[in-house]
Structures are given as C-alpha cells and as structure tokens.
Amino acid sequence: MIRNAQYLRLGVNIDHVATVRNARGGDNPDPLRAAQLAIEAGADGITAHLREDRRHISDTDIERLIEQISLPLNLEMAATTEMQKIALRHKPHAVCLVPEKREERTTEGGLNVVSEEKRLAQFIAPLCTAGCRVSLFIAAQSDQIEAAKRVGAQVIELHSGAYCDAYAEGRHEDYDRELEAIQVMAKFAQELGLEVHAGHGLTYDTVMAIAEIPEVVELNIGHFLIGEAIFNGLKPAIAEMRRRMNAARP
C-alpha cells in the first residue's frame, strides 16, 4: 500500500553520452543536447559525474550544463580537494558525493561515511554554506545513514545496484532481501530528517518496486536509458521510464 502520493522526481544521468563521444573524440554526441532532450522528455533534473580521470564528463561539459540547462544539475563527484574547488566555483544545485576508484568501470558501492566522518563533515560544510544541496551515495545500512546525518548531509541516495543485480541474475532471495533493506532504510532515513533518493542499475523491470517506496522522492537513472536510446531514441526511453514511475506512484 502506497502511503504517500508525493511526486517522484527523475534525474537523468548523461555520463555515457560523453563516454560514446570520448571513444572517438570530437564533439558528438553532445551531452548538453542529451540533457536538453531529457528535459523535453520529462526529466526533473540532470545528473553528471565529473570523475577524477575525466573518462566521460569533462570540465567543459559541467560549465556548459551550468550555463545552459533550465533544470537543476546534480554534480556527482569524489570527496577530493580538486572536486570541492570545482563545486564551489560552479555552485550546482546539488552535489552527490560518491566513492571513486580509478580502475572501476562504474561506482561499485556506497560511500563509507562511518570510517570518514570527521573528514566528510569538514568537506561538506563549505558546500552547504555555498548553497549546494549535499547528498551522500550510500548502501542501505543504518550505521551509514546515521553517519550521513551526523556529517551534515541533507540527502542520501541509496545504492540500488545490489538489488538490480540480484533481479538480473534471478537470485530471488537476494532480490527480496535487498529490496526490503532499501524499503526499511528509506523509512529510517526519512525519520531522521533526511531526504531519500535511490539509484544505480535501475531498468524498466526494476524501477517500479523502488518507485513504490513512499519515502523515496527522487531516482537517478542513466546507463540503462542511454542504452535504450540506441534502439528507440532518448526521449521515448525517458518517457517510458517516467510512465512506469508514475504507474508505480499514481
């Protein structure tokens, strides 16, 4: 039973448009154009991850997005001095801190807030003062959520990757356990006063169960949508995701 009919926002991650561009070099396909199409298709925000190695999104991409898109930009980044300076210069609507390893293909897990509380509290404070909404990308674990609250984050984004992997691999017990963890921890985080988002690995098949969780107010989805766009176009791919989210939370 859905206990809350609050509108569920969709943030579209455009990183992998830049991945395709960078594979050959040059200017095409253009992440800014992808962002504009996403907005036309019903996205509520744009997400871009500026990695330390600049493997996809570039500094110029961030500058153009800040200057030219009409919706909030969610800047994903590692908690490094370089990235903090970039965020403080551009002052995006939101900053989402994620763990980052150079050799990983994609973000493999949540940020370990518990082990870095003091450093993260000091890192986050100037971002909040600058007016950025700070989010931490974490696993659905109570100790990480409590630590996120203590360090001053306003938002958490629950890592849905393990849930999506369990679904894709047909591991039904793991799927049920991971989904329940997200459900329980979303409620726990909201009770602590944190805004709750979710993301990573979501597809048409997995989005509705997460969209039904009333405490989750935003989903960030990227790789799957860019993949679907190859076959069906970006705007139809986003529109279908939006349709399924709406069906889950009428």
Which residues are known to be catalytic?
A: 49, 76, 200
> Which runs of E-coded beta strand occur in the chain?
9-13, 45-49, 73-77, 94-97, 133-138, 155-159, 195-199, 216-221
| Whole-number Å distance between alpha carbons of 61 and 244 | 30
Q: Beta-carbon neighbour count of residue 35 at 10 Å?
A: 26
Q: Say if residue 64 is exposed, middle or buried (CB neighbours under 10 Å; 0-12, 13-18, 19+).
A: middle
| Whole-number Å distance between alpha carbons of 95 and 155 | 10
- Phi first, then psi: give them for residue 23, nearest 5 degrees: -60, -30
Q: Which neighbouring-strand residues pair with 78?
A: none
CA distances from 225 to 8, 22, 40 (A): 17, 18, 15
| Whole-number Å distance between alpha carbons of 241 and 114 | 34
Q: Are 35 and 46 in contact (CB under 8 A)?
A: yes
The answer to whether the bond into 29 is cis (omega within 30° of 0) is yes
